[in-house]
Amino acid sequence: MTINKTSFQNRSKEERKRIARLGGKKVAIENSKRMKDGQVSNMGKNSRAFENEVADSLDYEIMFLPQSICDRIAIIDGKPILIEIKHKGEKLKPQQKHAQKLLGEYYKVIER
């Protein structure tokens, strides 16, 4: 299924969420079916090695992997919101506390 920007925007909010959640997985599954054993794994390893090499060369004060900071990133009114989902009573990790302090209202913790 091909979805252009206009047709995507004309869909219901729930349908847009479902497409966004499943769209990338569908492509990855189709691509992996055409590749030989180990090719997908090697591509992932090579990609991560390249990303790490580039990230290590950047001169930033602090840099975290996204998965160490939040579970999801939402866009609300054109602004990125980092969302961390926790069980009731579960505490934030030190990197998450740091991000929450720096980002303020742009870092939401959802407890369930």
Domain boundaries, the chain: 5-57, 66-111
Please state the rounded mean pLDDT for residues 37-60.
86
Taking all residues of the chain, what is their mean pLDDT, rounded to a whole number?
Answer: 82
Kindly report the pTM of this predicted structure.
Answer: 0.58
Mean pLDDT of 102-106: 95
Of the listed ranges 16-30, 64-78, 79-93, the least confidently predicted one is 16-30
Task: Write the pLDDT tens digit of every residue in 64-76.
Answer: 888 899 999 999 9
Residue whose structure tokens are 């990125």 = 80
Closest CA to 83 of 94, 68, 73, 92: 73
What DSSP state is assigned to residue 3? -
Higher pLDDT, 40 or 78: 78
